[in-house]
């Protein structure tokens, strides 16, 4: 389904919106990812939600951020109306979350179980001890021993983004919007990776505009879905000393 985002044919959005109520949860997620690549399609979806013809449902923060990055005041307003205001400077909320997680980490976890959680939650973008991908910073040499540093980096990822990991917003001539890290920059095309490390190729001739995103590609609130035991296990692995080289 995701390949449909490449085409500007309005019949695509019409078909997706018509079938959307009949899709299962996974297919609805994929449909939204297609619809949210273009202002007109995203706006059509949000207006149907506003009219009560589609259920608002749960959107993750990355989806809400994608909607806001489209730069349309009506879209931003409808997003805030149905899912709340996306405020990148919600410092009090983040301070509260840091305190919550720090309190839960008062008991040690199991690093072996934590390594499995790392593979599921983090390895798509980060590498640790030679395992995982390098879409984001390699955590092996990061300041992992400092718990406050780790918590702030995970819970408030947009507070500081190193320049080599600043994501780009690419707007094509037919209105498509793609956000991610530019991995390949060639005279005739670019290849951009989203936060799932999925690559999209865009021809230079099709690009209308490229600008930096003020938001980290790393989604927020990823720790909220973890239980107390899972948090303890994950941080036990994240803070494990690097294995000694022979």
- Kindly report, residue by residue over 51-77, the tens digit of the pLDDT: 999 987 878 767 888 888 888 999 989
Query: Does position 5 have pLDDT exceeding 90, yes or no?
Result: no
239 in Cβ contact with 115 (< 8 Å) = no
Q: Report the DSSP beta bridge partners of residue 201.
A: 191
Question: Among 238, 242, 212, which residue's Cα sits nearest to residue 126?
Answer: 238
| Whether residue 100 sits in one domain with residue 154 | yes
| Whether residue 119 sits in one domain with residue 186 | no
CA distance 194 to 128: 20
What domain range is 66 assigned to?
2-83
| Whether residue 49 sits in one domain with residue 13 | yes
Backbone angles phi, psi at 181, to 5 degrees: -95, 125
**pLDDT for the residue numbered 71:** 83
| Whether residue 146 sits in one domain with residue 183 | no
Asked if the structure places residue 47 within a domain, the reply is yes
| Whether residue 38 sits in one domain with residue 72 | yes
| Whether residue 184 sits in one domain with residue 143 | no
| Whether residue 153 sits in one domain with residue 228 | yes
- On whether the pTM is more than 0.85, the answer is no
Residue for token pair 């080289």 = 245
Asked if the structure places residue 244 within a domain, the reply is no
The CATH number covering residue 119 comes to 1.10.760
In which band, very low, low, confident or very high, does the pLDDT at 111 lie, cut at 50, 70 and 90?
very high
Q: HSE, CB side, 13 Å, CA atoms: give it for residue 222.
A: 19
> Structurally, how many domains does the chain consist of?
3
| Whether residue 200 sits in one domain with residue 134 | no
In which band, very low, low, confident or very high, does the pLDDT at 42 lie, cut at 50, 70 and 90?
very high
| Whether residue 134 sits in one domain with residue 152 | yes
- Compute the radius of gyration of the chain from its Cα atoms: 19
Backbone angles phi, psi at 240, to 5 degrees: -65, 135
Asked if the structure places residue 196 within a domain, the reply is yes
Backbone angles phi, psi at 192, to 5 degrees: -120, 135
Asked if the structure places residue 243 within a domain, the reply is no
The CATH number covering residue 181 comes to 2.30.30.100
- Kindly report, residue by residue over 81-94, the tens digit of the pLDDT: 888 766 555 567 78
| Whether residue 171 sits in one domain with residue 141 | no
Which are the contacts of 161, defined by CB distance < 8 A and separation ≥ 6?
A: 167, 216
**pLDDT for the residue numbered 13:** 95
Question: Which structure tokens are listed for 123?
Answer: 């390895």
β-pairing, 199-203 with 189-193? antiparallel
Asked if the structure places residue 245 within a domain, the reply is no
Q: Determine what percent of the chain is predicted with pLDDT higher than 90.
A: 60
């Amino acid at each position: 389904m995701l390949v449909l985002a490449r085409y500007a044919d309005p019949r695509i959005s019409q078909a997706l919106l018509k079938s959307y109520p009949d899709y299962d949860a996974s297919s609805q997620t994929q449909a939204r990812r297609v619809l949210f690549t273009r202002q007109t399609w995203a706006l059509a979806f949000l207006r149907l939600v506003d009219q009560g013809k589609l259920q608002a449902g749960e959107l993750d923060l990355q989806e809400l951020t994608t909607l806001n990055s489209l730069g349309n005041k009506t879209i931003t307003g409808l997003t805030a109306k149905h899912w709340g205001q996306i405020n990148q400077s919600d410092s009090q909320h983040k301070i509260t979350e840091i305190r919550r997680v720090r309190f839960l980490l008062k008991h040690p976890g199991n690093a072996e179980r934590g390594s499995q959680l790392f593979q599921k939650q983090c390895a798509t973008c980060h590498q640790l001890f030679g395992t995982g991908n390098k879409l984001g910073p390699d955590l092996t040499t990061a300041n992992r021993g400092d718990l406050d540093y780790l918590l702030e980096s995970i819970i408030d990822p947009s507070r500081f983004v190193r320049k080599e990991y600043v994501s780009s917003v690419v707007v094509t001539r037919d209105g498509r919007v793609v956000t991610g890290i530019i991995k390949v920059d060639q005279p005739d095309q670019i290849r951009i990776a989203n936060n799932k490390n999925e690559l999209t190729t865009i021809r230079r001739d099709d690009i209308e505009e490229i600008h930096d995103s003020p938001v980290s590609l790393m989604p927020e609130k990823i720790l909220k879905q973890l239980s107390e035991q899972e948090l303890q296990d994950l941080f036990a692995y994240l803070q494990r000393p690097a294995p000694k080289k022979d």
